């Protein structure tokens, strides 16, 4: 038996808070420090509500010499520790030494596609993973060319390539921890290179530098299990495989692959793939989404608002929501110490997003502030009207930036007053920013909603409306503008054997939810193969 202390508070001013745990725990329990034989952090959160006394709150699991005495004397602060049940995605299911008649084909190597492939591979069923972009090593060089010289690659960029769009993000793991499979996901990320702290931090994040390592190590692990990754290969068609297979997949170079299980984890930016799937009759329809812009401050402005004069803390973050003009407006993918970067996936389009390295030390803080877009705002009778609505705004932003992947930008104060900005705008965005009227570029309902919400935000975070802050844009890719309809077995309602997955299918909104959907899809594929006896013996 081990014990748990429900809350132990460590003042920030005491130095490294983790290093203070053992002596403070001993003091809290009234026992000598040497009697604590083991100590593990279960939860860690920062409490900055009182600027004069900012503390970290911990929940810790520990062993000690006389546990019975500690339980008697500590009252309700200490309890016996009960480990939460651990769920594995393949619990209670087995292929029984068999394999599928044809390997599953997974389109996309983002979190949904990768986790679907991992579940299948570790069950003993290798896959073929198709990725139109490059592996992370060469993808990094490609996106750096875009930043240095506006050299855009239509096939490999910040949206397409190994790890998906999430590879270049803050890596914020924003999903409730109550789902029974969340622990599995987090442990897999740690297994392949994420820092251990994501297992207990209240607001865990990985960072782009770690995400690239994780993507590469995961790929190498899956390859060791027999899964093949085909990079620089674009999925262009599928058709009936006749008696031999449910589907035959065609790639842009003429490669053809037979499969009974096609996982569509295409991401939310593969617009020509949406067009092709719709032409093939795949069941899909429009869904609401959100658009807005990126708001960027010097990091020290946000630090001062959140932490006062304290300088001993990591880069501050924030999360805000409001109602204005009858719409919801909220912050999305906030990146402390982050960078802005171009995430257009089509030539002549400009959208921007935020990313952070694990250290979060760029000197800038950015977040999307987005407005909900309802079906009534864009729908004219075609399932892809939302996609076209997004695309039109991105094309206008590209032109407003100068047609060279510079971002249009405006001082926040000027955005609120509806006027041109003067002088040089300071930003982390590369290739660069161009003074432009974001209040004229975005739809009127978005601008009015943002302006109303920003006034409300400034009441909660005094100083948020700062002359040093800029509005850059546009942010159009918070989620997919469509949903691919699935049945109870997670297959397409129109095409048995096709499994739409993740953000691009309309079933996720971030790294954790996309990965979780991928895990569910992996299991659903196995259950389908077993139910329909699409198996062959290995011997």
Q: What is the average pLDDT score of the chain? A: 95
Is 0.85 topped by the overall pTM? yes
> 347 with 452, same domain?
yes
Pair type for strands 247-251 and 256-259: antiparallel
CATH number reported for the structural domain that contains residue 210 in this entry: 3.50.50.60
Judgement on whether residues 147 and 193 belong to the same structural domain of the protein: yes
At residue 16, the pLDDT reads 85
- Does residue 148 form part of some domain? yes
Tell me: do 267 and 301 sit in the same domain.
no
Mark whether 388 and 506 lie in a shared domain. Answer: no
Q: Give the pLDDT confidence score for residue 61 in this predicted structure.
A: 97
Residue 176 pLDDT > 80, yes or no? no
d(CA 515, CA 159): 16
> Do 227 and 136 sit in the same domain of this protein?
yes
Domain-embedded: residue 93: no
Q: Are residues 237 and 328 in the same domain?
A: no
- The predicted model gives 372-390 an average pLDDT of 97
Domain finish residue from 458, 475, 492: 475
Query: What share of the chain in percent tops pLDDT 90?
Result: 91
Query: Which domain CATH number covers 36?
Result: 3.30.70.2700
CA distance 115 to 313: 34
- In tens, the pLDDT along 30-59 reads 999 999 999 999 999 999 999 889 999 999
Instruction: Tell me whether residue 87 is in a domain.
Output: no
pLDDT tens profile 332-379: 999 999 999 999 999 999 999 999 999 999 999 999 999 999 999 999
- Which candidate, 321, 440, 438, 406, places its Cα nearest to that of 370? 321
Whether 391 is in a domain gets the answer: yes
Kindly tell me the burial class for residue 412, based on how many C-beta atoms sit within 10 Å of its own C-beta (0-12, 13-18, 19 or more).
buried
Query: Which of 20, 50, 80 is a domain's end point?
Result: 80
Judgement on whether residues 274 and 309 belong to the same structural domain of the protein: no
Of the candidates 434, 457, 466, which has an alpha carbon nearest to the alpha carbon of residue 364?
466
Q: What local confidence, expressed as pLDDT, does residue 538 receive?
A: 78
Structure tokens at 126: 């290798």
Residue 86 lies in a domain: no
Least confident of 58-67, 175-184, 473-482, 512-521: 175-184
In a domain, 92, yes or no: no
Number of structural domains (the chain) is 3
State how far the Cα of 395 lies from the Cα of 151, in Å rounded to an integer: 17
One domain for residues 212 and 296: no
91 lies in a domain?
no
pLDDT in tens, 416-429: 999 999 999 999 99
Query: Which residue, of 80, 110, 133, is where some domain finishes?
Result: 80
Q: For residue range 99-149, what is the model confidence (pLDDT) as tens digits? A: 999 999 999 999 999 999 999 999 999 999 999 999 999 999 999 999 999
Q: pLDDT of 69-79, one tens digit each?
A: 999 998 889 99
Pair (114, 238) in one structural domain:
yes
Is a pLDDT exceeding 70 seen at residue 216?
Answer: yes
Cα separation, 92 vs 110, in Å, equals 27
Residue 85 counted as domain residue: no
DSSP 89: T
73 and 103: one domain? Answer: no
* Burial degree of 466 (CB within 10 A; 0-12, 13-18, 19+): middle
Higher pLDDT pick, 264 / 243 = 264
Query: Residues 316, 456: one domain?
Result: yes
Plot region of 233 (φ>0 → left; ψ -120 to 50 → alpha; else → beta):
beta
Q: Which domain holds residue 391?
A: 288-475
Instruction: Answer whether 354's CB lies under 8 Å from 294's CB.
Output: yes
pLDDT at 14: 66
DSSP letter assigned to residue 468 = T
237 and 142 housed in the same domain = yes
């Amino acid at each position: 038996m081990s014990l748990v202390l429900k809350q132990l508070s460590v003042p920030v001013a005491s130095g490294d808070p983790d290093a203070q745990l053992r002596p403070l725990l001993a003091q809290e329990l009234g026992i000598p420090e040497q009697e604590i034989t083991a100590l593990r952090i279960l939860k860690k959160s920062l409490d900055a509500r009182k600027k004069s006394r900012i503390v970290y709150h911990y929940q810790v699991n520990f062993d000690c010499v006389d546990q019975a005495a500690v339980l008697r004397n500590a009252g309700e602060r200490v309890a016996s520790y009960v480990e939460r049940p651990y769920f594995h995605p393949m619990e209670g299911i087995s292929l029984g030494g068999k394999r599928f008649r044809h390997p599953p084909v997974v389109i996309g190597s983002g979190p949904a596609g990768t986790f679907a492939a991992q579940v299948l591979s570790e069950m003993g069923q290798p896959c073929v993973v198709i990725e139109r972009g490059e592996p992370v090593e060469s993808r990094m060089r490609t996106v750096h060319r875009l930043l240095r010289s506006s050299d855009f690659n239509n096939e490999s960029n910040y949206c397409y390539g190994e790890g998906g769009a999430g590879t270049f993000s803050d890596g914020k793991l924003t999903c409730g921890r109550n789902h029974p499979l969340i622990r599995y996901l987090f442990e897999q990320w740690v297994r392949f290179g994420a820092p251990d702290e994501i297992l207990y931090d209240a607001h865990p994040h990985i960072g782009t530098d770690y995400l690239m390592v994780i993507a590469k190590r995961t790929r190498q692990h899956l390859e060791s299990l027999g899964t093949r990754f085909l990079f620089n290969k674009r999925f262009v068609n599928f058709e009936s495989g006749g008696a031999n297979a449910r589907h035959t997949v065609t790639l842009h170079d003429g490669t053809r692959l037979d499969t009974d299980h096609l996982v569509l984890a295409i991401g939310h930016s593969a617009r020509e793939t949406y067009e092709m799937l719709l032409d093939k009759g795949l069941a899909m329809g429009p869904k609401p989404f959100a658009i807005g812009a990126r708001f960027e401050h010097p990091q020290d402005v946000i630090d001062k608002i959140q932490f006062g004069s304290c300088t001993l803390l990591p880069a501050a973050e924030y999360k805000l929501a409001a109602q204005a003009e009858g719409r919801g407006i909220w912050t999305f993918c906030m990146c402390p110490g982050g960078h802005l970067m171009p995430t257009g996936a089509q030539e002549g389009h400009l959208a921007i997003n935020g990313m952070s390295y694990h250290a979060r030390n760029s000197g800038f803080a950015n977040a999307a502030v987005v407005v909900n877009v309802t079906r009534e705002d864009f729908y004219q009778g075609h399932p892809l009207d939302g996609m076209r609505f997004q695309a039109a705004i991105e094309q206008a932003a590209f032109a407003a930036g100068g047609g060279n992947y510079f971002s249009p930008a405006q001082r926040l104060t000027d955005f609120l007053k509806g006027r041109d900005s003067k002088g040089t705008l300071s930003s982390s965005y590369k290739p660069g920013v161009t003074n432009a009227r974001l209040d004229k570029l975005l739809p009127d309902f978005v601008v009015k909603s943002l302006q109303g919400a920003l006034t409300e935000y400034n009441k909660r975070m005094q100083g948020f409306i700062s002359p040093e802050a800029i509005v850059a844009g546009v942010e159009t890719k918070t989620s997919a503008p469509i949903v691919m309809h699935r049945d109870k077995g997670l297959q397409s309602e129109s095409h048995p054997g096709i499994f739409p997955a993740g953000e691009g299918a309309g079933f996720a909104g971030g790294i954790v939810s996309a990965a979780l959907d991928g895990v569910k899809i992996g299991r659903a594929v196995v259950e389908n193969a077993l139910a329909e006896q699409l198996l062959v013996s290995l011997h």
